[in-house]
Amino acid sequence: MTNRTPIIAGNWKMHNTLAESADLITALTKAGNKNHVEIIVAPSYTSLAKVAELAKGSEIQIAAQDVHWEDKGAFTSAVSPVQAKDAGAALTLIGHSERRSVFGDTDEILNKKVAAALRHGIKVIFCVGETLEEREAGKTLEVIESQLKNGLKDFTEEQLNGIIIAYEPVWAIGTGKTATPEQAQEVHANVRAYLAKAYSPAFAEATRILYGGSVKDSNVDEIMAKPDVDGALVGGQSLIADKFARIINFNK
């Protein structure tokens, strides 16, 4: 039995106007939390400050979806960790598969973003995951270990204290396909083994590893039952208040 507190995180991606974000966060503050999980939502930048304001006094923590590696400068369209924190973000996603595959974030870029977030006291949710081609080629564990090794390069265990890892198979994001609970458990166990080897067994045991990839109210109970699955990073259903509430209040 683990002492790791589960995390249910919602990534709103490029969805919701200010009014829609306000309605959603207001509904979620009333969702209940029977399992005493940590609840995190990651709205788009335009809604970040509003959502943070409306979530004050609730159990819901606010995350940015990404941050730049510089604090300020001529980086049109980017958002710095200083700006994200100022808007109310206590955490940030880094390395989401869409940042890797759509926007071309490399391990080197992600490493710089992790450094920037940590420098400003922003907790990192570091995302890893393989493509369908990589899974079919039997390279899943190799790919994920490489992403962890290079993305978290040169950080000490002390610096990474409190980091959250999210395993999100690229082939399961927004496709309706979901890794089986057994597939998720296998990867999560291997991520934990890597952390034990790269840092320490105590660090590995304390680090929470989330599963992301078409998590739904209909499959969350089975996924959360696995010993190395410490939570979920939810996409589409985090935009629907009653669905996300059901995921938050999964059945043990």
Catalytic residues, by residue number, are 96, 168
| Spatial separation of the C-alpha atoms in residues 236 and 214, rounded to whole Å | 8
| Spatial separation of the C-alpha atoms in residues 64 and 219, rounded to whole Å | 26
Torsions phi, psi of 39, nearest 5? -110, 130
Q: Hey, what are 14's tokens?
A: 């490029």
Which amino acid appears at position 159 of this protein? Q
| Spatial separation of the C-alpha atoms in residues 6 and 37, rounded to whole Å | 5
